[in-house]
Structure 1
Amino acid sequence: MAATAATLALDVASCLSHRWSWLLFALPLLGVASIGLFRLLKLPLGVQPGSVVEDVRNDDRVPPALAPAALVGTFFTVLGGGSAGATATSLAMASSAASGLGRAFGLAPRGAKAHRLVHRGWTAACGMAAACSALYGAPLAGTLFALELVRFDGAVARRLPILLGASFVAWLVAMPLAGGYALPAAAAPDPSWQVAALCVLVGLACAAAGTVFGWALRALRRAFVRSPAHPALVVAAGGAVVSVLVFAFGWQRFEGSGLTLVYAAFDGTSEPFDFAVKALLTTVTLGFGFKGGEVMPSLCIGALLGASFAALLGVDPSFAAAMGSVAFFAAAARCPLAAVLLAAETFGWAVAPWAALAVFPAYMGSTDVGMFGRGLTGRLSRAKRTARDKRRREKER
């Protein structure tokens, strides 16, 4: 229900934004209003999807007030024409609600942090899996997404059947409500070296673009948290930048989550550098402290980037856009298994091998710090280095 509420709220905000174009110039004030809401609810102003996921990984409490604050804050962002989606907002809402339910039913008592078998983060992980499943109609991808977000934490992985059950229930509930993102269809082409080359090229391009996007977003968010200026002034400045860019260049179609741009990419009607515009507006919007998610915008950026290769290699633009969307998502979110399953459940299982071919270079060629923090590869490498250093110190003694 959190995912459905978030998408419906953002649909309303998007409709109002397009109906009353003057709301674009209210974006700075709407950003200040979201800052005021977070202060009123005593929530950290720098809270973001990555910090929520980090709370789940560290078995920390997800504040119950985060659910309404994330929803209203994202509504304000999209209402003013900011570039943001509902996925990360839904993850925050669902993890907050599920964590609260877990405490209410005594599923994770106080002091659970000392005993990994009663890790209270698994209830929040169930919420995240269910939210992703409801949004994209992909219960298997939603389950793997939650597992990859918590980096296959043993206490969460042991409850895989519960995560699967939550994902499928959310999928069944969301289907008749039509409250998620309906991605366009893409058919698997006949096998050829040309198609294989496209997948690899798109994957490498997404690795480079995803690295730049993630680095820029992290840098701006760090600057927002550490800035000596009042947060309201920083958010207002970011809103003013977005408003001026959109108005000056006529970039109104890049507002919101970018679902309409995804359809344009699949239809072959997008422009070659549309992906750069969407990435720029998303980075400025979210980097300057506006609330919202970057998952759907990242799928949009990837689809636009993939479609730009279609004409170059003479491949169906819908297939190229599909490969770009999941490859960029894998690079930016550091969740390659969920990306392949998302392609399989959304575009058909015949697309899965091609998706894996695009996702592999995108994941391996990008830095291991993405939208939701460090990936599993980096964490394993750090753990190995720590163990190696510990053994060396013991030998020196």
Structure 2
Amino acid sequence: MNKYISEYKEIGIYAISAIFVGLAVGVLDTLFGKVLIFIGTFRDSYAGYLIPMLPFAGLFIVYMYKKIGKNTNKGISLVFAAGNEELEEIPKRMIPLTILGTWITHLFGGSAGREGVAVQIGATFSHAIGRKIPYKNASKIMLITGMAAGFGGLFETPFAATFFALEVLVVGKLEYLALFPALIAAFVASFVSHFLGLEKFSVNLDVALSMDGQTMLKILVLGIIFGAVGGLFAYMLGYAKRYMVEKLPDLRKRIFFVGILISALLLMFHMGRYSGLGTNLIAADFNGEIVYGYDWIVKFILTILTLAAGFQGGEVTPIFSIGSSLGVWLAPLFGLPIEFVAALGYISVFSSATNTLIAPALIGAEVFGFDYLPYFLLTVCVSYVFNGNHSIYGGQKTIL
């Protein structure tokens, strides 16, 4: 009997901690997300004035991190290091720095995401709590819990957020002890951010399909293509980071001169169409607006340049836009509904680039509808296999 009391007590402590984490991270995600939306709208209104200032914004980011950031410019790599027990404590100053750095990057046109910031917020906050809980692996369990809260609060996809946090640290191993608190934190953070008015992206996908042999074959081929593109993105991002460090080891020079190149390309290609998150491209993909066949390629290149140069932000939302824009281009070639193939690309390129399997399928279900989950599972399984075992997260471990 004492054994069960002890176990339920531990579960209860994690559950209460998860509720607290979900509440706090949900509020922080909302603040971060709402300001980011405002920044994106403001930038689009004055793109011609703000985008040319991107190189100087980069210099300010470098100065900010050098003065007060110490090693926090490593960003999400610190989260992975802590999750794999290679780092004892995540510096708390990383939260305001990564938020401010990402806001600046987006204000001046950098092509970057936002999930990295949300995950860092949740992980840093919850890992500190976990270090005070007197149970084995408490810090790791709480770190995963915070990652789920960060992702769930920002995207309001709590099931996907839970499994993303469980899957992403180590490929081939799920930390099941973290499942319950991660689920609680993800749902609480998602509820809080929704209650506070942070908008959720969702599409009422309404297409008639049958799971016949021909459709399955088309989805398999699409999965291979999406898997190759996601794997290539992850590989090229890692390669670009290493190459730029080798050629321009001084971060100030790197971010300034590459920033000039990025600014020029952003202005050259439709005056800032490829700035920021890429949500404008996603909206175009699912609303029947103008989509160029090269949208996904340009967004692919500019996102890699932005992040490799040293600007702040995540990769996931640009990856969503790359996948959905590629899907729009491929749909007529396969004779499938445009919105459906865009949805497959949205989740499958994400699966491939992050080397995760369950979370992307659940993102598809939570964003586009659970009725299509069998199709999502099929394409994600294929894209996961054909990604070349690459990941945008350099700190991700793999168990063979």
TM (normalized to structure 1)? 0.87
* Partner SS for 2:69: coil
Change in CA separation of 1:202 and 1:3 when aligned onto 2, cut-off 3 Å: farther
Counterpart selection for 1:168 from 184, 187, 192: 187
The Cα shift of 1:183 comes to 3.4
Q: Does 1:14 align with 2:40?
A: yes
Amino acid at match of 2:381: F
* Partner SS for 2:332: helix
Distance 1:317 1:249 in 2: 24
The Cα shift of 1:156 comes to 4.1
Amino acid at match of 1:234: R
Equivalent residue, structure 2, for 1:52? 79
The Cα shift of 1:284 comes to 0.4
* Partner SS for 1:43: helix
Query: Could you give the per-residue CA deviations for residues 255-310 of structure 1, whole angstroms, max 9, x where no partner exists?
Result: 11011111111234312221101101100000111000001111111111111121
Change in CA separation of 1:50 and 1:305 when aligned onto 2, cut-off 3 Å: farther
Equivalent residue, structure 2, for 1:348? 369
Query: Could you give the per-residue CA deviations for residues 85-107 of structure 1, whole angstroms, max 9, x where no partner exists?
Result: 1111111122112223334xx22
Equivalent residue, structure 2, for 1:211? 231
Distance 1:266 1:35 in 2: 37
Counterpart selection for 2:274 from 249, 254, 259: 254
Q: Does 1:94 align with 2:114?
A: no
Amino acid at match of 1:184: V
Change in CA separation of 1:87 and 1:266 when aligned onto 2, cut-off 3 Å: same
The Cα shift of 1:356 comes to 1.1
Distance 2:393 2:78 in 1: 8
User: Would you say the 8 A contact 1:224–1:231 is kept in 2?
Assistant: no
TM (normalized to structure 2)? 0.87
Query: Could you give the per-residue CA deviations for residues 175-225 of structure 1, whole angstroms, max 9, x where no partner exists?
Result: 122325413332353214443233222211111111221111111222344
* Partner SS for 1:356: helix
Distance 1:48 1:225 in 2: 16
Equivalent residue, structure 2, for 1:74? 102
Distance 1:205 1:178 in 2: 36
Alignment of 1:215-364 (within 5 A): 215-226=235-246, 229-268=249-288, 269-364=290-385
Amino acid at match of 2:218: L
Change in CA separation of 1:224 and 1:239 when aligned onto 2, cut-off 3 Å: same
Q: Does 1:36 align with 2:63?
A: yes
Query: Could you give the per-residue CA deviations for residues 320-367 of structure 1, whole angstroms, max 9, x where no partner exists?
Result: 111001100000001111001111122111111101111111110112
User: Would you say the 8 A contact 1:59–1:119 is kept in 2?
Assistant: no
Say how many residue pairs are matched. Answer: 370
Equivalent residue, structure 2, for 1:182? 201
User: Would you say the 8 A contact 2:130–2:138 is kept in 1?
Assistant: no
The Cα shift of 1:152 comes to 7.4
Distance 1:120 1:47 in 2: 20
Amino acid at match of 2:261: V
Distance 1:306 1:14 in 2: 24
Alignment of 1:380-395 (within 5 A): 380-381=399-400
The unaligned stretches of length 5 or more in structure 1 are 382-397
User: Would you say the 8 A contact 1:51–1:372 is kept in 2?
Assistant: no
* Partner SS for 1:120: helix
Distance 1:155 1:343 in 2: 21
Equivalent residue, structure 1, for 2:14? none
RMSD across aligned positions (CA): 2.2
Change in CA separation of 1:96 and 1:311 when aligned onto 2, cut-off 3 Å: same
User: Would you say the 8 A contact 1:118–1:155 is kept in 2?
Assistant: no
Change in CA separation of 1:24 and 1:152 when aligned onto 2, cut-off 3 Å: closer
Change in CA separation of 1:50 and 1:333 when aligned onto 2, cut-off 3 Å: farther
Amino acid at match of 1:18: D
The Cα shift of 1:71 comes to 0.5
Compare 164-173 and 180-189 and name the one that shifted more. Answer: 180-189
User: Would you say the 8 A contact 2:171–2:399 is kept in 1?
Assistant: no
Change in CA separation of 1:166 and 1:84 when aligned onto 2, cut-off 3 Å: same
Query: Could you give the per-residue CA deviations for residues 51-79 of structure 1, whole angstroms, max 9, x where no partner exists?
Result: 43233222522110111111011011101
Distance 1:202 1:250 in 2: 28
Amino acid at match of 1:283: I
How many percent identity over aligned positions?
26
User: Would you say the 8 A contact 2:352–2:391 is kept in 1?
Assistant: yes
